[in-house]
Amino acid sequence: MISILLSRLRQGHRTLPYPKALPTLPERFRGLPAVNASRCPDGCRTCAEACPTEAIRIEEKGPRIDLGRCLFCPDCVEACPEGAISFTRDHRLSVREREDLHLGPGAELRLAGALEGELMRLFGRSLKLRVVSAGGCNGCEVDVNVLSTVAWDLGRFGIQIVASPRHADGLVVCGPVTRNMEEGLRKTWEAMPEPRIVIAVGSCALSGGPFHHRPEQLGGAAAVVPVDLFIPGCPPHPLTILDGLLRLLGRLEKVGTTSRTL
């Protein structure tokens, strides 16, 4: 027992200091995309044609990006001959309304606001979540699970992952919701006590992701259950997921629109 205690003392404090300080993100991290419309040649559609999920639409003022479909892959960046598209290292991407993820030149990303009224009173200090894998690749599920490790320690924020929907306040949906999972997702939702919330994690759960054109899937969680928080990414970084959860619970000071524009 003494050797165990000594070993633990030598390990020191392992939990990240977030949100007091941001962890160091890797150089290859791709966050909020940025578009310099002044560099876009007239009539150029190279980026839109290169996008594997049709997340880019060319408009009069420049490209419009649907972050709900975006896989945050570098295809558009590599295809653009003028270098008009780039990815910032901004991890903050979560929103409350699906429409807020449609960003055009000069538009601001409206970050997720906190729950209102009775929902905040009930869930603001303690939130139990049940994860449903609805036909995805398991990438988003892995990054949700990472938040329960020692380094992230999701429990210190009063948020826990539970095994039964009957013990849950909210549902975390990953995957495009295949037709084989439609009934399972709906039954899980119905088994949860009211009031309840739904969090869609990853481009598949938001729009179908790379499978959006396939008839075997329904195009995301919103096709089956009402969604309260949309977290884009493929998969979203654990920091992006945690940022969205804390914004939903009113734990972050700056909630509202960002100062960054496309």
Is residue 202 domain-resident? yes
Domain that holds residue 219: 117-261
Q: What is the CATH number of the domain that holds 159?
A: 3.40.50.12280
Q: What is the pLDDT of residues 13-27, one digit of tens each?
A: 689 999 999 999 999
Walk across the sheet containing 102-103 and list its strands: 56-59, 62-66, 102-103
Q: Within a domain: residue 225?
A: yes
Q: Is the pLDDT of residue 134 over 80?
A: yes
Determine, yes or no, domain membership for 17. no
Total domain count, the chain: 1
Q: Give the mean pLDDT of 128-148.
A: 96
**pTM score:** 0.91
Q: What is the pLDDT of residues 89-105, one digit of tens each?
A: 999 999 999 999 999 87
